[in-house]
Structures are given as C-alpha cells and as structure tokens.
A and B are shown apart, each in its own frame.
Chain A
Amino acid sequence: MNNYFSNHFLNSINFYQTKVLAIILFLLPFSTILFSQTMNIDENYFSPKNRLAFGNFLFIQEDYLRAIEEYKNYLMYIDNDTVRFKYAESFYRIGKYNEAADNFKSIFYGSLLSDEAKLAFYKASFFNGSYNSFRDICKMEGYQSEKYAKDINRLFLISHLMDESILPDTNHFLKAFPDSTKNKVRELYMMKKFPSKKNPTTAMLLSMFIPGAGKIYTGEISDGITALLTTGVLAYLAANNFKHEHNFRGWLFAGLAVFSYAGTVYGSYASAQIYNAGVRLNFDNEVKLYFEKRNYLLPKINFLKTND
C-alpha cells in the first residue's frame, strides 16, 4: 500500500515538472518582447521636442553642421529665441559668418537675447574678412547694444590693427582696453604705427654705390657679400683683360659685371619688399594669436554650454 502511494506521488511530481518545463519553453521566445520593449511604440522620434534634444546634443558634441539641420526643423514648428541663437551660433562656429550674421539679426528686436544677438552679430561681421565693412556696420544706427557697447567698441578698435586703415588716436585707442592688457596692446599699437620696415629705394641706392650693400641693409648679409664679390671679381677680370689687350674677354667680363651689378640693384629692391612683407606677416600673426587667445576680450555667453 505504501509502495503504491509513493509511486503515485513520484509520478505526479514528474508530470507537474514536465508541464512547467513545457510552459517555460513555450514562453521563452516571447520573453525578449516582454522585457525589452519598454518605450511607447507610438513615440515620434522626429517630434520637435526630440529634434531639439538631439540638436542640443549635437551642438554640445560640436557637430554644428548636423545641429543646424535639427534646429532648422525644430524652428519650422516652434519659434524659440534660444534655439534661433544656437542656430545662428552653429553657422558662426563652422565659419559661415554671413549666414550667422543674418540669423543673429532675426533676434535683434523683442527678445531677451537681443543684446547677446547684437554682440554675436558684430563678432560674425568682424570675422567675415572685410574689416572695412565691419567698421561701416559699427557706425550704423539701430544695431547698437547698450549692454555690450564697450566690447563692440573694442572689437572696432582691434580691427584697425588687422588691416591698412588709419589708426585712431593713441589715448582713445588704449582707453578702451583693460589694464591687464594695456601694455601689450600699446606695444602692438606702436608696432603698427611705426613698423620696422626697410625702404626699397634706400636698398636700391645703397646697392648702386656699393653692390650688395642694399641686401646687407635688408638683413641678407651673405647674399650682399656674395653680390659684392661676384661683381668685384667680374669687374677686375674685365679690367685686367682690357689691360692685357684681350679685348674679347674684356668685353665678355665687362658685360657679365654690368649684369651682375644691375641684377644686384634690382634684387636689393625686391629684397626690401620681401623683408617688409615678412614684417607685416609676423605682425598680423602676433595680433591674431594674442587676441584669439583672449577671445578678442569678449564676454562668454553662458547659456550656450547648457542643454537648454
């Protein structure tokens, strides 16, 4: 009797275990669907909200080109000044200064970001390449920002160091800069006003008196000495051949000496021009490096770094 019950009990356990196992095996393929799908199937990935979130993400990742696309699509549905600003700023950061300036203009009036937009507009115009046009824009009325007037004026003054325009008065120029930068700005101002250039005509005249002296004047000492030696040796050979009545050789060396002399005079003028071009290039690089390192003494706009 006991044996019968125990066997029946064991059989019933096996039956239930098999049944549970079968159910688990049946449900196993559906488990991924049951647990993995947590998002709403009806979620619209291209909704304005998602576009803005993705645009902000791209902006922070410095992928401005794709951020522009997302902001553009967002602005088709919802008008938002912050997004407009970021849209324009994205153009600015990829070097499309014209587009940036145009888009900053759209936030000039009736916006809390009006002053920031005006500052950014001037910044975009400054980097657009033509400092003359930038200065003309600075003189236009209606674009002025009271909040950033000093910063824009400073940018206006810096533009004079970047091209061949007439420099403003020293005191007026330096007054606009903070004390911490005044010494360096004064130095740059003086370098611009009194550049250490060489006069090409002087170089040419020097070489006319002493062949090669003009090149030495422009810092090309070894070139100058070589020119002096070449012209001197050729002239000596010409004179010596004439003296010994070797007229053909005399004329040959005389011709070469004349060419050497004339070439040196010509080369001295060119050498002074190259020297001056080098002075200008070095100055331009120094000005750009100095102000770039200090963000052109412009304030940073903080909300651009957040995910707003």
Chain B
Amino acid sequence: MTAQSDWVKWDAKEISYEIHSPTHHDYTIDKSSFGLRILSYARNAYYYFISDVDGDNCPFFPSCSAFFIQSVKESNIFRASLMFTDRFIRDMNLFKNNNRYSLHATKKYIDPINNYLLEEKRIILTTGEFIE
C-alpha cells in the first residue's frame, strides 16, 4: 500500500564510466634539501602535465616516478638515475616474468626500491618479509 509513492516518470541516470585511480599523487614539496626541492617541482610538473592526463598506467607499485623519488631519498642522484633507468627498461618489457613479482592490491607488480639498493639484507621478496 505504501510502496508506490513516486509517480514521477523515471529518467535515465547519468553514469560515469571513468575509472578512478586508486592512487593519489602527492604534490607536497620536500624542503629538506635544495636538490630534493628542485626534484619535487619537476615531479609535480610531471604529475600535472603528463601523469594526471595520461592516467594510472604504470604496471608497477610504486610507480616509476615514485620509484625515482624514493631512490633519490635512499641513495643519491647518480645511483637513483641508474636504478630508474633499469626500472624503466623493465617497464618496457612486454613479457614480464609473473613469478618474479607479487601482485599489489591494485593488481600492480610490487617492485620496491629495497631490492635495487645492492644490499642483500634489505631485499623484500614475495612474502613481504625482510631477509635477515
């Protein structure tokens, strides 16, 4: 008796098929050093002009840009550049070895910078544990 209360004709609902990115870019400026400040501006420019427009396409977690920033923080700009180049080449590989990487909740390959600092004790494998 009370179920039918709406006599207005139903309209087509506006549906958005946009896939929302589960990750959000961090635009904060790192002011701990001059180099990192410059790098933060460069990263923000990349996020604003390229990444946000292009979408969340990097198959790795963390993404290549985040990987580079973390590498600089953990080591130095020279080593970080080598780590980033290596990562970028692995990114270009169309036939990635699924056994090598474990999957993140976002279905991306987990590839932490710890594995590329050349310190065996810091390597993180698929179980997510540090090797002691």
Contacts and interface: CB of A to CB of B under 8 A. Distances in A.
A96 interface: no
Contacts of B82: 259, 262-263, 266-267
B125 A273 contact: no
Nearest to B78: A262
Given A270-B115, A274-B115, A223 B125 contact: no
Given A222-B97, A266-B82, A267-B116, A273 B123 contact: yes
Nearest to A200: B118
Interface string B66-98: 000000000000010111111011101111110
B120 interface: yes
Q: Report whether over half of chain A's contact residues are helix, strand or loop; otherwise say mixed.
A: helix
B86 A222 contact: no
Interface stretch (A6-14, A81-89, A277-285): A277-285
Nearest to A259: B85
Interface of B: 79, 81-86, 88-90, 92-97, 100, 115-116, 118, 120, 123, 125, 127, 131
Given A266-B79, A270-B118, 16 more contacts: A219-B97, A222-B96, A223-B90, A226-B93, A263-B85, A263-B89, A266-B83, A266-B85, A267-B82, A267-B116, A270-B115, A270-B116, A273-B115, A274-B123, A277-B125, A280-B131
Interface of A: 219-220, 222-223, 226-227, 230, 259-260, 262-264, 266-267, 269-270, 273-274, 276-278, 280-281
